[in-house]
């Protein structure tokens, strides 16, 4: 597997804390709080609230590592929740859209739900036509993660870990995975991933928040301006499985190297848009070196919010909520209709275990996988 330099978390205590317009005064003020959220499989589920000194707040549950809400100030400093999600744990248990979740073992699709590694074929659980999607029937989005409760309340950090047993969903190896969420005073939600295994396996961890910078449930995302730092993308077949080709974006509706509104070309007469029912593709990022690199930039004019996505990963899946149909009743009773959220899932490429020309997703004993993605917010 492509290896990345380890990421060092630097947490800077702030002299003041602003929450919902109210200022407190000491750097030792609580930045992390916990509240009950229910029970799953006999395990307690909590919501952890992380707050920074700039008026930003993230609420994350240890069920699936789900970001339940992400409150970000607009240009007038009014806070607003910008991710789709639910008010109750029961809704997450029955939901099908992976709102805000950690996705694994393998994010995105593996064709025909099988792959061969070191001469042995592994058969996975099928949950997407003939394929496996986002880890299978019970992926990382559907488990209760362990929490490092020793993290001081003065640090806006949530450290999660999970042991995925050998054979789970058909994947080989006992895989130890960890995900650390950090809310920085620079209005960044930082996600650090790490994993190790005792048998050769494949791995592709990602995060699946649906963003609407105008506010969750406040209309569609078609006017959002998107820039993707990519000269190429990986086209798909009728089953949304990558063909193995890396195709230039130039001259196609996939070209977001210059910012463009999501809706400006999504209705174009284009085979890839037809197959994906819109944008649901992996872009091959323009990268230099192994450190953090800019993957995407999104702006929304009414709120003035800006989101930048930085990552150590080689790809990003841009998805425009093509399968949202208005049946999901979200936070505050708002329904999430067609294209009311967009995802930017940093990742290795889909179906890489069956595409030898793609960057490898194989993880072997003695190796450590690590990657970092940062969602950075500002206004203009």
Burial class of residue 113 (count of CB atoms within 10 Å of its CB; 0-12, 13-18, 19+): buried
Tell me whether residue 162 is one of the annotated catalytic residues. no
pLDDT at 139 over 90: yes
Catalytic residue among 57, 168, 188, 345: 345
Give the model's confidence band at 211: pLDDT under 50 very low, under 70 low, under 90 confident, else very high: very high
Note whether 62 and 145 are within 8 A (CB): yes
| pTM, two decimal places | 0.91
Give the model's confidence band at 331: pLDDT under 50 very low, under 70 low, under 90 confident, else very high: very high
pLDDT at 12 over 60: no
pLDDT at 19 over 70: no
Tell me whether residue 57 is one of the annotated catalytic residues. no
**Rounded to an integer, what distance in angstroms lies between the CA atom of residue 205 and that of residue 164?**
13
pLDDT digits (tens, 9 = 90+) for 289-314: 889 999 999 999 999 999 999 999 99
Beta carbons within 8 Å of 68's beta carbon, 6+ residues apart: 47, 59, 60, 61, 83, 85, 86, 100
Spell out the alpha helix ranges (H) of the chain: 89-94, 271-276
Mean pLDDT on 90-94: 96
Mean pLDDT on 339-363: 98
Taken in order 244, 247, 252, 256, the sign of the CA dihedral is: positive
- In the chain, the N- to C-terminal Cα span, in Å, equals 39
Q: What's the chain's average pLDDT?
A: 93
3-state SS, residue 45: strand
Quick one: pLDDT at residue 29? 73
The encoded tokens of residue 13 equal: 């205590």
**Rounded to an integer, what distance in angstroms lies between the CA atom of residue 92 and that of residue 371?**
26
Please report the domains of the chain, with CATH numbers, ordered by start residue. 18-379 (2.70.98.10)
- Chain-centroid distance of CA 93 in Å reads 18
Q: Are β-strands 230-234 and 247-248 bridged in parallel, bridged antiparallel, or unpaired?
A: antiparallel
Quick one: pLDDT at residue 55? 87
Report the share of the chain in percent with pLDDT over 90: 90
pLDDT at 148 over 50: yes
Give the model's confidence band at 358: pLDDT under 50 very low, under 70 low, under 90 confident, else very high: very high
3-state SS, residue 1: coil
Catalytic residue among 208, 224, 281, 348: 208
pLDDT at 16 over 70: no
Quick one: pLDDT at residue 88? 97
pLDDT digits (tens, 9 = 90+) for 251-301: 999 999 999 999 999 999 999 999 999 999 999 999 988 899 999 999 999
More reliable by pLDDT, 26 or 282: 282
Task: List the single range of 1-10, 78-87, 233-242, 317-326 with lowest mean pLDDT.
Answer: 1-10
Quick one: pLDDT at residue 28? 65
């Amino acid at each position: 597997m492509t290896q990345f330099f380890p990421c060092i978390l630097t947490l800077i205590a702030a002299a003041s804390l602003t929450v919902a317009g109210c200022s407190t005064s000491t750097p030792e003020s609580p930045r992390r709080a916990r509240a009950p959220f229910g029970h799953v499989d006999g395990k307690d589920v909590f919501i952890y609230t992380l707050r920074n000194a700039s008026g930003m707040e993230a609420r994350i549950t240890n069920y699936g590592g789900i970001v339940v809400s992400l409150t970000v100030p607009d240009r007038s400093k009014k806070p607003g929740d910008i991710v789709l999600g639910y008010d109750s744990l029961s809704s997450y248990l029955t939901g099908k859209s992976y709102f805000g979740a950690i996705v694994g073992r393998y994010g995105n699709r593996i064709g025909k739900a099988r792959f061969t590694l070191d001469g042995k074929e592994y058969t996975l659980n099928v949950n997407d036509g003939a394929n496996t999607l986002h880890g299978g029937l019970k992926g990382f989005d559907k488990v209760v993660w362990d929490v490092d409760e020793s993290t001081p309340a003065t640090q806006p950090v949530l450290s999660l870990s999970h042991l995925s047993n050998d054979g789970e969903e058909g994947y080989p190896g006992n895989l130890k995975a960890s995900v650390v969420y950090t809310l920085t005073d620079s209005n960044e939600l930082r996600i650090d991933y790490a994993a190790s295994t005792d048998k050769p396996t494949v791995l592709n961890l990602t995060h699946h928040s649906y963003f609407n910078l105008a506010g969750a449930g406040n209309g569609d995302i078609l006017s959002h301006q998107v820039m993707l730092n990519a000269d190429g993308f990986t086209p798909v077949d009728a089953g949304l499985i990558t063909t193995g080709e890396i195709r230039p974006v130039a001259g196609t509706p996939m070209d977001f190297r210059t910012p463009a509104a999501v809706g400006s070309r999504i209705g174009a007469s284009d085979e890839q848009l037809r197959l994906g029912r819109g944008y649901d593709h992996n872009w091959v990022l323009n990268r230099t070196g192994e450190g953090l690199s800019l993957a995407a930039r999104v702006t929304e004019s009414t709120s003035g919010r800006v989101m930048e996505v930085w990552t150590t990963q080689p790809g990003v899946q841009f998805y425009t909520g093509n399968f949202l149909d208005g049946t999901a009743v979200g936070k505050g009773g708002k329904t999430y209709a067609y294209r009311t959220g967009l995802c930017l899932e940093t990742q290795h490429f889909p179906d890489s275990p069956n595409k030898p020309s793609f960057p490898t997703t194989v993880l072997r004993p003695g190796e450590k996988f690590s990657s970092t993605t940062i969602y950075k917010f500002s206004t203009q």
